[in-house]
Amino acid sequence: MVIIYYKTPEKIVRSSDIKLLDQLKRESIIWIDLIDPSGDDKRKVEDFLGTDLQSRSQAEEIESSSRYSETETEIFANTNFLISQPDSFTYETVSFTITNDGIMATLHNSDLRTLNEIGKKIQLNHKINTTGYHLMVAILESRIDLDADMVEGIAKEIAYLSKQINLGNKVNEDMLLDISQLQENTMVIRENIIDKQRVVSSILRSSKFPADVYPILNVLIKDVNSLINHTDFSFDRLEYLQNTIVGLINIEQNKIIKVFTVVTVFFMPPTLIASMYGMNLWLPLFGDGLDLVVSVVLMIVSVIITFFFFKRKKIL
């Protein structure tokens, strides 16, 4: 699918008719959005732009030169957009191409909320973001805001877990699994934010972008740095909660072992007495029915003595 955004005197129009590339003037087109395009559609856009769009393997390379590069006639940039799932995140790589005359092309394999919102925004107010340079910065700005929302969401989940522990709720292995998943999500978000940091930093070093976007980029780089610090704090907090829960679980297990140990010790004296009277030999007592009573009394007395001994030693 190919979506074309082009200018008219009154508004910016959105169309999915790729044949418009043969009809419209080059200066009227500001953005070509390719969503999992066919080979023919991709080649048609490349012929129109006069350059090759990056393949998916090129877009997913992690080297700095693959994330952002410039030539005399084009700018190429690649960045990952996170897609939130119920318990995790997935990546969608978006490839940007901007020609010297300000036409931007984006290439990705699935529909993305951020790009749709920017498309609606420029249609509502056609006087803003009139070039591909401005559009790319606007997309990065919107995406970083969405990443900040994800960081806040992780922070709220951490605060909820911390509250459950402070309220004295029973801790279990499920909490450890939740913390492990939050740690994984935090690392994924941090990697994604660092990816944005690399792209924004590269743009700041470029001389091709209009002067009015650099103040916005300076704000964006500060926001990105603060988000990285926030994710670091969240990860440290998760490690603290993990250690706390493991400690509480160990305490609970020690209490259980302590109970079994004390119960075993309680019954050691009665067991000794019972085993003695179970031996097939004569013992120096009454030699009649009172032997049973005496043995039971001895067992009870031994348990009481053991109990007060542990109590005095503050073991119980």
Residue ranges of the domains in the chain? 2-249, 267-312
The reported pLDDT for the residue numbered 245 is 80
Instruction: State pTM to two decimals.
Output: 0.74
User: In which band, very low, low, confident or very high, does the pLDDT at 218 lie, cut at 50, 70 and 90?
Assistant: very high
Residues 242-262 have pLDDT tens digits of 888 888 778 777 877 877 777
Residues 152-204 have pLDDT tens digits of 888 888 888 888 777 766 767 778 888 888 888 888 888 888 888 888 898 88
Q: Which of the two residues, 197 and 297, has the higher pLDDT score?
A: 197
Q: What span, in angstroms and rounded, lies between the C-alpha atoms of 80 and 151?
A: 16
Residues 221-235 have pLDDT tens digits of 999 999 999 989 888
Q: What span, in angstroms and rounded, lies between the C-alpha atoms of 289 and 310?
A: 33
Whether residue 283 has pLDDT greater than 80: no
Whether residue 276 has pLDDT greater than 70: no
Whether residue 269 has pLDDT greater than 60: yes
Residue 55: C-alpha distances to residues 9, 18, 61, 185, 260 (Å): 35, 20, 10, 28, 65
Q: Is 155 helix (H, G, I), strand (E, B) or coil?
A: helix
Find the angle CA(23)-CA(21)-CA(128) to the nearest 5 degrees.
100
Tell me how far the alpha carbon of residue 64 is from its chain's centroid: 23
* Tally of CB atoms within 10 A around 176: 15
Residues 121-139 have pLDDT tens digits of 888 876 666 788 888 888 8
Q: Which of the two residues, 80 and 174, has the higher pLDDT score?
A: 80
Q: What span, in angstroms and rounded, lies between the C-alpha atoms of 267 and 56?
A: 72
Q: Is 196 helix (H, G, I), strand (E, B) or coil?
A: helix
Give 108's strand partners: 35
Residue length, the chain? 316
CATH number at 2-249: 3.30.460.20
